[in-house]
Amino acid sequence: RPHSCPRHPGACTMLPLLLLLLPAAHGIAQLKYKPALTKEPPLEGVTTASTFVIDQPRCVFRGYDNAVIWLVVALDKAPFNNTAAPGTSETAFQDFPDPVRAYMTLNTTLSNYPCPKPDGDIAVLRVGSETSCAGDRMRPTCNGPLPGPGPYRVKFLALEGSVPVAETDWSTPITLREAKPPSSISVTDSGHSAGMIAITTILSILFAILLAALVATLFWGSDSCGGSSTFSKPESVTVRRYNTHHVYDQPAARL
């Protein structure tokens, strides 16, 4: 009868394993490049409460003209599987940071990272700048606002089809700014000491007194200019009583 492995039965077990390890044996090229926050002089807001800005990987992925370059954003020290497909539930932004610990975004081709950089170009990427798709599960590769201060790590990963072919190193941890709640803001921290508050209060009181005195001066000054406006104490008026003579002067005998 036919035998698939007549002499070495163990070869039947090893063959599928070798086929699985073949892509891993080919390996992913490790590029000596570490993403970092940009130092472009005219750019402000390199880190905010929900975004940060890194340099584009110019002149990094030479020779990978057919690849699509992705940015991987992960929580610091969170593992990431390079074979995870972008745009799936395993790498969707909408589920970051729990349960998804790393997502893929900002995919582009090498033509958008020209080398060398043309003069005048600001070759940066702002991570977390898209707000319109943050809750849209139809766009799992959204470059949405980051949910907290982090810290985060990023790296660039090149895929040819669904196969990872090259990657950069991880960046150093990136921490975003934290907005202080109003209750935690101290008056002295903002440059207004207790002495300044006291001086301001005293000046406000003096200004109010001065304003009241000015109004009173204007009022009494107008009274002294016009005689018709002078008020004097009214004199008491006495009313004399008169009896009509034609009633009481006639003698009763004449009636």
- Find the domain containing 43 and state its range: 30-177
Structure tokens at 100: 């998804």
Query: Would residue 110 count as lying in a domain?
Result: yes
State the CATH number of the domain containing residue 83.
Answer: 2.60.40.10
Q: Is residue 242 part of a domain?
A: no
Closest Cα partner for 85 from 2, 12, 141? 141
27 Cβ contact list (under 8 Å, min separation 6): none
CB 60 within 8 A of CB 143: no
Number of domains in the chain: 1
Largest CA distance in the chain: 180
Q: Which two tokens stand for residue 177?
A: 């700014």
Phi, psi (rounded to 5 degrees) for 99? -90, -15
| 249 part of a folded domain | no
Per-residue pLDDT tens, the chain, 255 aa: give them. 444 455 555 545 444 444 444 444 458 999 999 999 999 877 788 999 999 999 999 999 999 999 999 999 999 999 999 999 999 999 999 999 999 999 999 999 999 999 988 888 889 999 999 999 999 999 999 999 999 999 999 999 999 999 999 999 999 999 999 876 666 555 555 455 667 777 888 888 988 888 888 877 777 765 555 555 444 555 555 555 555 555 444 454 444
Locus of tokens 């702002």: 126
DSSP letter string over 166-180?
EE-PPPPPB----PP
Residue 34 in contact with residue 170, Cβ under 8 Å? yes
Q: Do the Cβ atoms of 54 and 60 come closer than 8 Å? A: no
- Confirm whether 228 is domain-assigned: no
pTM (predicted TM-score):
0.63
Q: What are phi and psi of 105, to 5 degrees?
A: -155, 180
**Strand 29-30 to 163-167 pairing:** parallel
